[in-house]
Amino acid sequence: MGKFTQFVLLFSCLLLLVGCETVPEKRFRPYKPKSEIEKFIVFAGEGIERELKVKTYKYGRFTVYVRPDGSQNIEGGVYMPESKPDIVSKYRSVIYINYREKTLEAFKFNDAGSYEPLVGYAVVTPSADKLPKDVVRGVVTKIDKNPTWCPTPNIRTVYKHLPAGCLPPGHKDNAMGAIKFEIKWDTPNWELVRLHGTGGYPRGSFWDKETFGCTRLLNEAIINLEKLLGPGAEREGIEIIAYR
């Protein structure tokens, strides 16, 4: 065996004993923004740091970050509500909408004789002062899984690009989204105030503007809500309680 061959074998054995130090892979690693600061920091490559200002909406249960490119992140946007032992309703399901905290919490009467929490969501509503009184009650009259949308004249003055007439289900500008809950309220002039999904907004722009009157959920949220309420929920009764 030659000296060179002996050297190669010896060097190989040393590598097996001590191991090889690998070079860290350079890759893009985004970090979520901290709730206590209004910025989004991205680290890339060899510690290069770039800071982007974001708009932040802070509420009791969640924080919404809207980045300059329009993308959004909602921390705590889905949660399990606390039990409400004081619910009094003649309906099987009860949905609370808090206009001040921007939350929706759903409950359903169970076989044990109490209302159990189903789910809580971050939602978009008008400002709290738009409620005509502290508590407004209504009952769902229809769950429309193929909703059309007929924009009012007031809406058309703001969104001038909307086509004439009613927008059919699935239309890219149909603000009702995937599902629409029609509601009969105990308050006059609230016939067009609904609970619905999201449509007609750029992807990730769920939180850009308050609604004209309705409560807006992400499409996946309202689809899941309808499933959790269960078959026959519309027939058994769903009460909506909006408050501030």
3-state DSSP of the chain: CCHHHHHHHHHHHHHHHHCCCCCCCCCCEECCCCCCCCEEEEEECCCEEEEEECEEEECCCCEEEECCCCCEEEECCEECCCCCCCCCCCCCEEEEEECCCCEEEEEEECCCCCEEEEEEEECECCCHHHCCCCEEEEEEEEEECCCCECCCHHHHHHCCCCCCCCECCCCCCCCCCCCEEEEEECCCCCCCCCEECCCCCCCCCCCCCCCCCCEECCHHHHHHHHHHHCCCHHHHCEEEEEEC
pLDDT of residue 42: 32
**pLDDT higher than threshold 90 for residue 8:** no
Higher pLDDT: 174 or 17? It is: 174
Say if 212 falls within a structural domain.
yes
Confidence check: pLDDT of 144 > 80: yes
Please state, rounded to an integer, the average pLDDT across all residues of the chain.
80
Can you tell me the distance from the alpha carbon of 40 to that of 66, in angstroms, rounded to the nearest whole number? 10
- Is residue 69 domain-shared with residue 83, that is, in the same domain? no
Per the domain annotation, does 13 fall within a domain? no
User: In which band, very low, low, confident or very high, does the pLDDT at 50 lie, cut at 50, 70 and 90?
Assistant: very low
Residue 217 belongs to a domain: yes
Q: Are residues 138 and 86 in the same domain?
A: yes
219 with 120, same domain: the answer is yes
- Do 104 and 207 fall into the same domain? yes
The pLDDT of 116-130, averaged and rounded, is: 93
Structural domain total, the chain: 2
Q: Is 7 a member of any domain?
A: no
Lowest mean pLDDT among 34-43, 163-172, 174-183: 34-43
CATH number of the domain that residue 184 is part of: 2.40.440.10
The answer to the question of residue 2 being in a domain is: no
User: Which phi and psi angles does 221 have, rounded to 5°?
Assistant: -70, -45
Which strands, in side-by-side order, build the sheet including 135-144?
78-79, 115-122, 103-109, 93-98, 238-243, 135-144, 180-185, 195-196, 215-216
146 with 165, same domain: the answer is yes
On whether both 111 and 193 belong to a single domain, the answer is yes
Q: What is the mean pLDDT of residues 87-114?
A: 95
Q: 144 and 34 share a domain? A: no
Which residue, of 44, 74, 104, is where some domain finishes? Answer: 74
Predicted confidence band of residue 146 (pLDDT cuts 50, 70, 90): very high
70 and 94 fall within a common domain: no
* Predicted pLDDT at 74: 79
Give pLDDT, residue 5: 56
Residue 114 lies in a domain: yes
Q: Where does residue 173 rank: exposed (0-12), middle (13-18), buried (19+ CB within 10 A)?
A: middle
- The answer on 150 and 45 residing in a single domain is no
The average pLDDT across 163-184 equals 94
Instruction: Find tokens 């699935």 and name the residue.
Output: 170
Flag whether pLDDT at 46 surpasses 80.
Answer: no
Same domain, 42 and 89: no
State whether 142 and 48 are in the same domain: no
Q: Read off the pLDDT of each residue in 105-125 and give the average, rounded to a whole number.
A: 95
Task: Flag whether 23 is in a domain.
Answer: no
**Predicted confidence band at 215 (pLDDT cuts at 50, 70, 90)?**
very high
Range of the domain at 216: 76-243
Task: Give a yes or no: residue 218 inside a domain.
Answer: yes
**pLDDT computed for residue 87 by the predictor:** 95
> Which of the pair, 20 or 223, is modelled with greater confidence?
223
Residue 158 and residue 65 in one domain: no
30: pLDDT strictly greater than 50: no
